[in-house]
């Protein structure tokens, strides 16, 4: 009998430890399928980035740099600008472009741009095809040019509308994490189902008198899984941003990554809170039950 109890206790403990790992994996699987794999959700998540200050600055810098490179290369005749005059033109264009990024026309163009980016994000993060996630700014540049020309901004008609891209994520640094995400996405809802079944099995496998203790362990395992998820998201952030140039691309990339993984971070902290509450509730229930039984047994017959 004791051997049987020890075996069941050991098995329950092993299942609880496995639950610590499976909990964050099931969260990543749901994220890869629902957040990254769905175009509508992806656009809803990334469209608000059009109002992010770092993203707006990166776009204004990129468009202004293109115009100034055209001027300095002599692609069209603008006369012999002095350095201070070139600086004044750059500041004027930059301010005009930055002001346009607050308009409804820009937000519509931005939605078009991020919708077109969805497939590259999906391939880079969850399929292993492609490394750099780039945002094609051509729809945005086209709207910027039309608006600035309409407003009479000098040299706005010279803004080149061509393949203009900003690198927002670099998947080279993901390594094995990309393979994990690919496998989890293919698994669909099964990791989440397996997590629920594993938690139930850990409790039911325990000896009858120790099931509340096992339930406490399940709660702590879920909480630990939430912490692990938050840590993985933070570590991966550094990996996907480390190869980006230390300029507007990195700032825009950080905003892009934080938006994409926002639901994962929320899930991680939610798992931490829910797991601790479950563990605390199971522990308190056991304590109260134990006290009640102790008082009942101490009463004289």
Q: Examine the domain organization and report whether 208 and 272 are in the same domain.
A: yes
3-state helix, strand, coil in the chain (%, to 5): 80, 5, 15
**Do the domain assignments include residue 86?**
yes
**Do the domain assignments include residue 45?**
no
**Do the domain assignments include residue 292?**
no
In the three-class reduction of DSSP (H, G, I as helix; E, B as strand; rest coil), residue 200 is classed as: helix
Q: Examine the domain organization and report whether 153 and 181 are in the same domain.
A: no
Q: Examine the domain organization and report whether 275 and 181 are in the same domain.
A: yes
Residue 27 lies in domain: 2-36+175-282
Span 252-278, pLDDT tens digits: 788 888 988 899 999 999 999 999 999
Instruction: Look at residue 76 in the predicted model and tell me its pLDDT.
Output: 46
Report whether pLDDT(287) > 80.
no
Q: Examine the domain organization and report whether 129 and 180 are in the same domain.
A: no
Domain count, the chain: 2
Q: Examine the domain organization and report whether 62 and 157 are in the same domain.
A: yes
Instruction: Look at residue 178 in the predicted model and tell me its pLDDT.
Output: 67
Q: Examine the domain organization and report whether 126 and 216 are in the same domain.
A: no
Span 227-261, pLDDT tens digits: 999 998 998 888 777 767 665 567 778 888 898 88
Q: Examine the domain organization and report whether 89 and 196 are in the same domain.
A: no
**Do the domain assignments include residue 137?**
yes
Distance (Å, whole) CA 290 – CA 285: 8
In 3D, which of 137, 131, 123 has the Cα closest to residue 50?
Answer: 137
Instruction: Look at residue 231 in the predicted model and tell me its pLDDT.
Output: 94
Span 201-222, pLDDT tens digits: 888 887 666 778 888 889 999 9
Span 102-111, pLDDT tens digits: 888 888 888 8
Instruction: Look at residue 75 in the predicted model and tell me its pLDDT.
Output: 46
């Amino acid at each position: 009998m004791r051997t049987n109890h020890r075996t069941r206790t050991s098995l329950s403990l092993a299942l609880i430890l496995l639950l610590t790992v499976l909990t964050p994996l099931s969260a990543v699987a749901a994220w890869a399928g629902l957040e990254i794999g769905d175009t509508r959700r992806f656009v809803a998540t990334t469209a608000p980035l059009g109002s992010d200050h770092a993203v707006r600055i990166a776009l204004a810098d990129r468009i202004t740099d293109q115009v100034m490179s055209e001027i300095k290369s002599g692609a069209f005749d603008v006369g012999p600008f002095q350095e201070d005059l070139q600086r004044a033109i750059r500041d004027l264009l930059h301010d005009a472009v930055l002001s346009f990024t607050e308009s409804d026309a820009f937000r519509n163009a931005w939605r078009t741009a991020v919708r077109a980016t969805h497939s590259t994000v999906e391939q880079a993060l969850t399929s292993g095809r492609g490394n750099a996630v780039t945002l094609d700014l051509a729809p945005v540049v086209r709207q910027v040019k039309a608006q600035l020309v309409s407003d009479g901004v000098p040299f706005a008609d010279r803004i080149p509308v061509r393949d203009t891209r900003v690198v927002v994520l670099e998947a080279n640094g993901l390594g094995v994490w990309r393979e994990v995400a690919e496998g989890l996405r293919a698994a669909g809802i099964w990791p989440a189902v397996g997590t629920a079944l594993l938690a139930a099995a850990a409790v039911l496998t325990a000896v009858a008198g120790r099931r509340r203790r096992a339930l406490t362990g399940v709660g702590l395992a879920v909480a630990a899984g939430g912490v692990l998820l938050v840590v993985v998201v933070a570590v991966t952030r550094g990996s996907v941003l480390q190869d980006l140039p230390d300029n507007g691309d990195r700032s825009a990339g950080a905003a892009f990554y934080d938006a994409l993984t926002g639901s994962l971070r929320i899930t991680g902290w939610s798992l931490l809170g829910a797991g601790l509450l479950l563990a605390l509730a199971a522990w308190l229930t056991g304590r109260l039950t134990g006290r009640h039984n102790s008082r009942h047994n101490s009463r004289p017959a």
